[in-house]
Amino acid sequence: MEHSGEFISERIRPLTEGADTAAMAAGGPGLSQAFKWRDETLGIATVLETWRESGPCTHGSGEAYARKHWFEVMTTTGRRARTYFERQGRPPDRRQRWWLFTIEN
């Protein structure tokens, strides 16, 4: 999973049209076909790789739960990006759970 690119770590807003309903039906996040980042629209051309990051239950049950769903994608402009979806949103707006981790310029 080697990836070079500029470290961003900023929230992105999914443009809901074209979300992956099959992934949602299986319990995962629906990857939008495009995201809004700063003043730019990042269109998703291809998903290159997906994986999950797990962690222990925070209530002591001993089970592991998915914490983040990662997506390495190629944008419609030919830039490689790494995004993730957090299962538990962060303050101040817990509804915004998509992040742009890195992007190639």
pLDDT of residue 54: 78
Cα atoms found within 13 Å of the Cα of residue 66, Cβ hemisphere only = 13
Number of domains in the chain: 1
Report CA-CA distances (Å) from 67 to 15, 51, 74, 78, 95: 22, 11, 23, 28, 15
pLDDT of residue 23: 65
Beta strands (DSSP E) in 1-105 are 6-11, 13-14, 34-37, 40-56, 64-75, 80-86, 98-103
pLDDT of residue 70: 94
CA atoms of 64 and 87, how far apart (whole Å): 13
pLDDT of residue 18: 57
Q: Is residue 1, in this structure, part of any structural domain at all?
A: no
Q: Is residue 35, in this structure, part of any structural domain at all?
A: yes
Q: Is residue 46, in this structure, part of any structural domain at all?
A: yes
**Domain residues for 76?**
6-103
**Residue ranges of the chain with per-residue pLDDT less than 70:** 1-4, 17-27, 56-60, 62, 64-65, 89-95
pTM above 0.85, yes or no: no
